[in-house]
Structure 1
Amino acid sequence: MDWANIFILDTTWAFAAEIAVRVTVMFIMIILFLRFTGKRGVRQLSIFELTIILSLGSIAGDPMFTKDLPLIQALLIMSIVICLYRLCTWLMMKYQPFEDLLEGTSLYIVEDGLLVLEKIEGGEMSHDEFFTEMRMQGVEHLGQVRVGLLETTGDFSLLLYPHDQVRYGLPLFPKQYKLVDQINADEYYACMYCGYVDKPLKVDQPCGRCQNKCIGWAKAINNKIIR
């Protein structure tokens, strides 16, 4: 194995110095570009902004080490992208339909302690994703949640019920979110598909809300919010 070809090949000291200059220039351009996009973190970026950030890899990466690619071309491309970003941002501020097109719209995942069926069936968010977001915010069951909103940035916003209005709801933690094999009279159970709370007469009884889409019943709980 020729280690010289693997690590050096035809690299000269002059080209190594050129790479150092190229990397320094593109590094500064990336910092300036990100400065123009604001101070939000990666998780807070919209799809539109994330697309622009990811494009930096191609725009800035190749000129760092490609000898036949002059820096002026990369600088021109990045300048155009910055102008387009500013233009799109201005248009989004002026025209709501344009913003909805690029950024998307917020999705209601929970309303009045129940999962929004249209969002579940449309595949916007799986049960596991939703439950994880809820648990990370200290929510134990759906009966604590008045509104759950999936923002365009991927964050989850919650409006919780006051302590005296917490109702029975579908548990979100694995040990409690499990199919019961026996129904006890006068106890509340929650549909494991949509969160509907009822007093079913048998374990295979269809849900009164999502009907035959019900995947079973879990014992509902009404614990208060502890924060």
Structure 2
Amino acid sequence: MRLLEIDFKEIFLSDLDFSLALEIGLRTVIMFTLVLVFLRSSGKKGVRQLSIFEVAVIIALGSAAGDPMLSGEFAILPSLLVFIVILGTYRFITYLASKNQRIENILEGKPIYIIEDGVFTIKEEGDANFAQDEFFAEMRGQNVEHVGQVRTAILESNGQVSFLFYPNDKPVKGMPIYPKEFGKRSREISQSGDYACTHCAMVKHLTKPSSCPRCGKDEWVLAIQSVRNE
């Protein structure tokens, strides 16, 4: 059986020659410089978490910059015009957002309370597209062992989470968030004790299987009471 012949030269080089490679390099330097100039002109000092609006701007910018980098069929000046239009639109919309809170909320989103008084909020649950495992990882990154150590947690519009903690001299019981302890959750109650609802983190003393009076769920995990290592 004849093996499939692969033309690696065609795959990696195709009809590329020295003059075309030089042109691509020059175009790339020019477009990359324009991208840097645009980002600097947008007023951003750096990037930590991008809003959806800013991601859309970056995608549009990359699309406008990509074709002139690789193909001689695309001139640079039309892309520069696209850059100018994108920058003008960005500046105009951010100006409107600074003057109108509703527009800013639409573009950037608004902070959402995830935890209040040591339990998960449930009234805004549908507004928070935030995976439980991802949020637990954020909490563990703040040396949080259980939800009872957190007084307030807010999902900011830039995707970061802000925390306020209970003082360590007044520890309360809460739902564990480390995999081994949280993995022991169950709908069965084998022994009486203080259990945390795995849905809303409300702590309740149970002697038998029961539904959570706050959210109506019936899965529980043994609550723990440890202080946070600051």
State the Cα distance separating 1:105 from its structure 2 match. Answer: 1.0
- Structure 1 residue aligned with 2:3: none
Distance 1:115-1:16 versus aligned 2 partners, 3 A rule:
same
Q: 1:168 aligns with which of 159, 170, 173?
A: 173
- Structure 1 residue aligned with 2:207: 201
Instruction: Write the distance in 2 (CA, Å) between the matches of 1:174 and 1:21.
Output: 52
Quick check: 161-170 or 59-68, which moved more? 161-170
Matched residue SS, 2:19: helix
Contact 1:120 1:126 in 2 (8 A): no
- Does structure 1 residue 40 correspond to structure 2 residue 43? no
Percent pairwise identity: 40
Query: 5+ unaligned residues in a row in structure 1: which ranges?
Result: none
State the Cα distance separating 1:4 from its structure 2 match. Answer: 4.2
Instruction: Write the distance in 1 (CA, Å) between the matches of 2:22 and 2:134.
Output: 48
* Aligned residue identity for 2:204: D
Deviations 1:12-37 (A, max 9, x none): 43333322221111010111122223
Deviations 1:31-88 (A, max 9, x none): 11222231232x4221111221232221111111111111001111011111111111
State the Cα distance separating 1:11 from its structure 2 match. Answer: 3.2
Query: 5+ unaligned residues in a row in structure 2: which ranges?
Result: 1-5
- Structure 2 residue aligned with 1:13: 18
RMSD (CA atoms): 1.9
Q: How many residues align?
A: 222
Contact 1:166 1:224 in 2 (8 A): yes
State the Cα distance separating 1:122 from its structure 2 match. Answer: 5.4
Instruction: Write the distance in 2 (CA, Å) between the matches of 1:147 and 1:194.
Output: 14
Instruction: Write the distance in 2 (CA, Å) between the matches of 1:194 and 1:219.
Output: 14
Instruction: Write the distance in 1 (CA, Å) between the matches of 2:220 and 2:11.
Output: 61
State the Cα distance separating 1:183 from its structure 2 match. Answer: 4.4
* Aligned residue identity for 1:134: M
Matched residue SS, 1:175: helix
Instruction: Write the distance in 2 (CA, Å) between the matches of 1:163 and 1:6.
Output: 62
Q: Tell me the TM-score normalised to structure 2 length.
A: 0.88
Q: 1:141 aligns with which of 143, 146, 149?
A: 146
Q: 1:225 aligns with which of 204, 224, 228?
A: 228
Instruction: Write the distance in 2 (CA, Å) between the matches of 1:226 and 1:7.
Output: 54
Matched residue SS, 2:181: coil
- Structure 1 residue aligned with 2:196: 190
Instruction: Write the distance in 2 (CA, Å) between the matches of 1:11 and 1:125.
Output: 46
Contact 1:47 1:153 in 2 (8 A): no
Q: Tell me the TM-score normalised to structure 1 length.
A: 0.89
